[in-house]
Amino acid sequence: MSRPYLGDFEHLVLLAVMRLADAGYGLAIRDEIVRRTSREVSTGAVYTTLDRLERKGFIQSTIEQGTLARDNRIRRRYEITPSGRDTVGAAQRDIRAMSRGLGLREEH
C-alpha cells in the first residue's frame, strides 16, 4: 500500500502546526517557518498548503472570531490529526534512513 505523499513545504507546515500546538494560526505558522528556516514564505503559500493538508486529512481547522487588530476578520486555528502525525513520522523516518551514512552534519 502506498503512503500518502508529503511535499517539502507541506512537511514544514505540518511541523510548524505541531510545534505551535494550541496556537496554530496562519500568521503564527508562517512566522514559525520564517524564523526557523529563514525562508521567504508568503501568506498565500501558507494558506493554500494548509487547505491542501486539511483536504488530505492531515490537519483540521476551527474558525474563531476576529479581533480589532484583524479588522474583525475571522481566524483559523489548525491542529494536527492522528493521520497527519503518522505521515510526518513516516516522512521523518524516510529522511533519516536516506541520510544515514552520508556524513551530513546537522547545523545548530
Partner 1 sequence: MGIDLEVALIRALAPSDLAEAIIGDLHERRAALAQTLGDSKALAASRSDVVRSLFSLLAYGASRSLADNWVFALACAAVTCALCVATIPLWNQIGFGGAGYHVLRLAIIGLVLGCIPRASTLSCAFLLLLIGAADWAIDVHETAVAWRVLSLVLQDGIAMGAMLAMLSLVRLLREPA
Residues that bind partner 1 (CB under 8 A): 26-27, 30, 40, 42-45, 47-48, 51-52, 66-67, 69-71, 73-76
**Shortest CB 13 distance to partner 1, Å:** 13
Q: For residues 50 and 29, give the distance between their C-alpha atoms in angstroms, rounded to a whole number.
A: 10
**Shortest CB 42 distance to partner 1, Å:** 4
Whichever of 1 and 38 has its CB closer to partner 1, that residue is 38
Q: For residues 17 and 15, give the distance between their C-alpha atoms in angstroms, rounded to a whole number.
A: 5
Whichever of 30 and 91 has its CB closer to partner 1, that residue is 30
Whichever of 45 and 86 has its CB closer to partner 1, that residue is 45
Q: For residues 71 and 99, give the distance between their C-alpha atoms in angstroms, rounded to a whole number.
A: 46
> Minimal CA–CA distance to 13: which of 88, 69, 96, 71?
88
